[in-house]
DNA sequence: AGCAAATATGTAAGCGCTTGCATTTATGAT
DNA sequence: ATCATAAATGCAAGCGCTTACATATTTGCT
């Protein structure tokens, strides 16, 4: 029976309540504009019919969706989870809904998803990092969709960013490593192409080396994708070199965990035989043993501030401005002074 | 300048290409219906104008969105990440887009998000577990949105499910624990209200106890929310009891990791002093030391099959049928025979 | 060359909602 | 009571697209 009855529309409600569709619409959107008696009648009709507004129609008519889209590189690990959760909580508080897509670190998939989200009427977009084709920025500009970047802070870019200075953050950590006497360094980085964060973190290590007068060839750089297994695999190759590095700085905690596990597999003690550091300070960093010395990122604060800034851009059609958050090195057990 | 030009519409493209809007629409949706010469002209117009179809309008006209919505309890930990990623990969392969929301384990938030997704024209919905208000099922029925449940397998429920038998799975693990001589058991469960998986897992432990002739009061049940800290906190209370349990079966790996860490904090050796088990077999389970004995869930298979089944339901407007996946206990280091 | 059948394109009617403007009804000061 | 003013409601024009159905063009036969 219910099979042949289709979802009620505004019109059905209007008929049932004996008013015009305009009045029903007002009851739902600007209730103070309709007198109490009418409103009650309408709402009870809404109720008894089980009416829910059709979103597509509403977006089309109102040209506003109260939806914000976010595209993150991955959902598979926790790197973006905490920040995104905070982002969602904040926008929800302000009456917006979040739509999330994951690009699996594939630029084409990301472009696709940006278009999908925009076509869907997203009022604003949250993107991770600045690296992407100019074409996409043109598109965003033409469509006039307020867009904000997070997990990076590069105030000179055309799109405002709420995040931290990846280069400076990694430099601080590298300084600490070098300060402990390490001179043969290696880094296991994410793929730096199309990933400003990965690239800048490597740069940060170089900065610290230069500052301490270490030659640049004291650093071995390996790039791989962000999974535990990859961290392990690359670490193994690294340690087979002669001489092996005494400290391995990983592009994130996930890679670092892979490295730690591989070290154990190889019978190497961390940190006595080799120091390993992470980046991000996700939960994993405290769970692995030895616990990781890593760079703490204020994920929740970043998520919250990004939400506020983006909504502000949407509401005021203003340009938006970048916000820098600070990171700090958290010292745990995976980093020790060099013994060679 | 671009500020005053707004996004091009189908009509603009039609004018530019010198054809009707119908033809443009066909070029985009059923290109084989339009002759090559025309098609080229149209596509180049699309291109030079940078046209992107307006999704809301398209959904409204076509009554089809090629979008599938998924609502998961949390993005904060990895429990649903892997399965969801597989789900997304599969539906993407079939031309659908995934929209994800997280309910933060709050039923009202979930209801809200279901309505949002439906109103947005989702062609189908993926939900986790069966427990929710009847009103929601009525709504889904009335809106005729194909819906599938995952992470649970309860074929008698009105909504089909693709998942595993939580009760049976936990029973298998509990059998193993009891087989090792443990009689004083405790479980750290998620909040079971509104969570059939949590409830059934507890039930599974009871089943095993009954089968082995253990009295039901040999089990202490504590419920808390799914976070590492909570696992730790509850575990502490549990071990303060006199006598303490010799084995603690946790509702998931996250809680188990919290328990392991707390044990170490308290100077207890795992598994010599107390055994701890998890559930789900997420990455964490292998990273913590001792590695967790836990129940392995075929996350990726579940995600993929759920996607296939749901799309099948959508394409054929059929009822859909439930699929049971099997789990297995993976034996690692956190469970040992009882020494009392 | 001529005609029926097949193929390509155009016309226009919605899809369900919001909102500017016009109209009706209530309010309150005289 | 009366009338200007304010408050509540209705009317109807879109929003940008898809898709029957109608019309025009091409194709393949004889």
Distance CA(B79)–CA(B228), nearest Å, equals: 13
- Residue A35 CA to nucleotide D9 C1', Å? 10
Provide, as residue numbers in chain A, all residues whose Cβ is less than 8 Å from the Cβ of B144: 3, 6-7
pLDDT tier at B61, thresholds 50, 70, 90: very high
Percent of chain B at pLDDT above 90?
76
For chain A, say whether B289 makes contact (Cβ under 8 Å).
Answer: yes
Strand C within 7 A of A33 CB? no
For chain A, say whether B142 makes contact (Cβ under 8 Å).
Answer: yes
Question: Is residue B220 predicted with pLDDT exceeding 80?
Answer: yes
Q: What is the mean pLDDT of chain A?
A: 93
Residue length, chain B?
340
Identify the residue among B51, B70, B99 best suited for mutation to test binding to A, counting A beta carbons within 10 A and taking the highest.
B99
pLDDT tier at A1, thresholds 50, 70, 90: very low
Closest by CA position to B185, among listed B77, B286, B277: B277
The pLDDT of residue A7 is 82
Closest by CA position to A68, among listed A129, A148, A130: A148
In this structure, which topology does domain B66-164+299-326 adopt according to CATH? Answer: Rossmann fold (3.40.50)
Give the residue-averaged pLDDT of B277-288. Answer: 94
Contact B143 A7 (CB under 8 A): yes
pLDDT tier at B4, thresholds 50, 70, 90: very low
Where in the sequence of chain B do the CATH 3.40.50.2300 domains occur? 66-164+299-326, 166-297
Closest by CA position to A137, among listed A152, A148, A153: A148
Question: Is residue B149 predicted with pLDDT exceeding 60?
Answer: yes
CATH class of residue range A65-164+299-326: alpha beta
Question: Is residue B2 predicted with pLDDT exceeding 80?
Answer: no
Q: What are phi and psi of A124, to 5 degrees?
A: -165, 165
A129 phi-psi bin (left φ>0, alpha ψ -120 to 50, beta other):
left
Distance CA(B65)–CA(B77), nearest Å, equals: 30
pLDDT tier at B340, thresholds 50, 70, 90: low
Where in the sequence of chain A do the CATH 3.40.50.2300 domains occur? 65-164+299-326, 166-297
The CA distance from A206 to the nearest CA of chain B, in Å, is: 31
Distance CA(B84)–CA(A69), nearest Å, equals: 18
Comparing every residue's Cα with the C1' atom of nucleotide D26, the nearest one is B35
Percent of chain B at pLDDT above 70?
98
For chain B, say whether A101 makes contact (Cβ under 8 Å).
Answer: yes
Smallest CA–CA distance from A101 into chain B, residue: B99
Give contacts of B 38-67 with A, CB under 8 A. 50, 52-60, 65
Q: Residue with structure tokens 């940060």? A: A204
CB pairs under 8 A between A and B: 135
Distance CA(A100)–CA(A42), nearest Å, equals: 34
Question: Is residue A4 predicted with pLDDT exceeding 80?
Answer: no
- Residue B262 CA to nucleotide C5 C1', Å? 81
Give the residue-averaged pLDDT of B269-297. Answer: 95
- Residue B92 CA to nucleotide C13 C1', Å? 33
Contact A141 B284 (CB under 8 A): no
Identify the residue among B55, B57, B92, B288 best suited for mutation to test binding to A, counting A beta carbons within 10 A and taking the highest.
B55
Nearest CB among B104, B120, B139 relative to A55 is that of B120
Distance CA(A303)–CA(A307), nearest Å, equals: 6
Task: Catalogue the E-assigned strands of A215-285.
Answer: 219-223, 247-250, 275-277
Provide, as residue numbers in chain B, all residues whose Cβ is less than 8 Å from the Cβ of A60: 54, 56-57, 60
Nearest CB among B97, B119, B141 relative to A55 is that of B119
Provide, as residue numbers in chain B, all residues whose Cβ is less than 8 Å from the Cβ of A53: 119
pLDDT tier at A5, thresholds 50, 70, 90: low
Higher pLDDT, B3 or A33: A33
Where in the sequence of chain B do the CATH 1.10.260.40 domains occur? 2-53
Contact B283 A228 (CB under 8 A): yes
The CA distance from A208 to the nearest CA of chain B, in Å, is: 31
Closest by CA position to A244, among listed A201, A186, A198, A305: A186
Nearest CB among B82, B100, B142 relative to A2 is that of B142
The CA distance from A1 to the nearest CA of chain B, in Å, is: 10
DSSP three-state, residue A163: strand
Contact B52 A82 (CB under 8 A): no
Give per-residue pLDDT as tens, A42-88.
999 999 998 989 989 999 898 888 899 999 998 877 889 889 999 99
Closest by CA position to A221, among listed A245, A240, A243: A245
The pLDDT of residue A3 is 35
Give per-residue pLDDT as tens, A275-318.
999 999 998 999 898 999 999 999 999 999 999 999 999 988 88
Give the residue-averaged pLDDT of A138-142. Answer: 86
DSSP three-state, residue A99: strand
- Residue A36 CA to nucleotide C29 C1', Å? 26
Smallest CA–CA distance from A138 into chain B, residue: B50
C-alpha dihedral (B133, B137, B139, B142), degrees to nearest 10: -160
As a CATH number, domain A2-53 is 1.10.260.40
Q: What is the mean pLDDT of chain B?
A: 93
Give the residue-averaged pLDDT of B45-64. Answer: 90
Query: What are the strands of the beta sheet with B275-277, ordered from one edge?
Result: B219-223, B185-189, B247-250, B275-277
For chain B, say whether A142 makes contact (Cβ under 8 Å).
Answer: yes
For chain A, say whether B172 makes contact (Cβ under 8 Å).
Answer: no
- Residue A5 CA to nucleotide C6 C1', Å? 39
DSSP three-state, residue B272: coil
CATH class of residue range A166-297: alpha beta
DSSP three-state, residue A69: strand
Question: Is residue B121 predicted with pLDDT exceeding 90?
Answer: no
Nearest nucleotide by C1' position to the B23 CA atom = C9
Question: Is residue B242 predicted with pLDDT exceeding 50?
Answer: yes
For A87, counting Cβ atoms within 10 Å of its Cβ (0-12 exposed, 13-18 middle, 19+ buried), the class is buried
Contact B97 A97 (CB under 8 A): no
């Amino acid at each position: 029976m219910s099979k042949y009855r289709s979802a009620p529309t505004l019109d059905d409600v209007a008929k049932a309540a004996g008013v015009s569709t305009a009045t029903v619409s007002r009851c739902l959107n600007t209730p103070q504009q309709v007198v109490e008696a009418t409103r009650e009648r309408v709402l009870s009709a809404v109720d008894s019919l089980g009416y829910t507004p059709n979103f597509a129609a509403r977006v089309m008519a109102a040209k506003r969706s109260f939806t914000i889209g976010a595209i993150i590189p991955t959902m598979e690990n926790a790197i973006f989870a905490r920040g995104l959760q905070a982002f969602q909580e904040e926008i929800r508080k302000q009456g917006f809904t979040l739509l999330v897509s994951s690009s699996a670190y594939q630029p084409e998939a990301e472009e696709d998803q940006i278009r999908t989200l925009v076509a869907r009427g997203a009022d604003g977009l949250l993107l991770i990092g600045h690296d992407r084709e100019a074409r996409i920025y043109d598109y965003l500009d033409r469509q006039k969709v307020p867009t904000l970047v997070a997990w990076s802070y590069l105030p000179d870019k055309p799109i405002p960013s709420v995040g931290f200075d990846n280069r400076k953050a990694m430099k601080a950590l590298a300084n600490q490593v070098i300060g402990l006497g390490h001179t043969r360094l290696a880094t296991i980085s994410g793929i730096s192409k199309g990933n400003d964060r990965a690239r800048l973190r490597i740069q940060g290590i170089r900065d610290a080396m230069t500052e301490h007068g270490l030659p640049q060839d004291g650093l071995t750089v390996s790039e791989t994708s962000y999974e535990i297994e990859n961290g392990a695999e690359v670490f193994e190759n690294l340690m087979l070199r002669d001489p092996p590095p005494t400290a391995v700085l990983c592009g994130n905690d996930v890679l670092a965990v892979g490295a730690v596990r591989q070290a154990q597999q190889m019978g190497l003690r961390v940190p006595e035989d080799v120091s390993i550091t992470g980046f991000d300070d996700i939960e994993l960093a405290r769970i692995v043993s030895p616990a990781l010395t890593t760079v703490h990122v204020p994920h929740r604060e970043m998520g919250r501030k990004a939400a506020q800034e983006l909504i502000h851009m949407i509401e005021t059609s203003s340009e938006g401005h970048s916000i820098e958050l600070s990171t700090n090195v958290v010292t745990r057990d995976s980093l020790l002074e060099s013994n060679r």
